Amino acid sequence: MKVKRLKYLPIPSSMKMITFFWIIFTRQNANVTMVDENHEEIHLFQKLEMAAIGLGVTAILCALGLSPWWLFVSLITWHVWYGIEWLFRLVQYRDFHTAYRNIAFEREAFSNDDNVSYLKTRNRFAWIKYLRG
């Protein structure tokens, strides 16, 4: 896993790392632990699963006559889902941090980031069981 250290990272100071697409970013001076890395690796697996779903859906849409440019959507499926679920949770909980902690992707990552062997035993689409009201 490649962690890119940046002098400036435009994320809240409460966040240590962020995964964007398949790149993990952190601040240059951040103390990154194995738990932090494992948390972000869980997100990478989630993104691959969501990209596969997005690729399948957009391939069908392209076969039906839509422009092949729609295949780009497969790369951002996770980010779109994450944003929509965060907005839903924000309305539900009326608190930014609580909304963030209750996104299914985050619930799975926080529940298992201290288990370094989790990714070896993780079922595909395990984050789905963390969807709840």
**pLDDT attached to residue 71:** 78
Q: How far apart are CA 100 and CA 69, in angstroms?
A: 31
Between the CA of residue 99 and those of 14, 48, 90, 104, what are the distances in Å?
15, 23, 5, 10
**pLDDT attached to residue 70:** 78
End-to-end CA distance of the chain: 33
Checking if the pLDDT of 133 tops 80, the result is no
Give the DSSP letter string of 47-61: HHHHHHHHHHHHHHH
- Residue count of the chain, please give it: 133
Q: How far apart are CA 77 and CA 55, in angstroms?
A: 9
Question: Percent of the chain having pLDDT more than 90?
Answer: 60
Q: How far apart are CA 130 and CA 133, in angstroms?
A: 10
Checking if the pLDDT of 123 tops 90, the result is yes
**pLDDT attached to residue 21:** 73
- In whole numbers, what is the pLDDT of the chain averaged over residues? 91
- pLDDT tens digits, one per residue of 28-53: 988 989 999 999 999 999 999 999 99
Pair type for strands 23-27 and 3-6: parallel
- pLDDT tens digits, one per residue of 52-86: 998 888 889 888 998 888 778 788 899 999 999 99
Strand order through the sheet with 3-6? 3-6, 23-27, 17-20
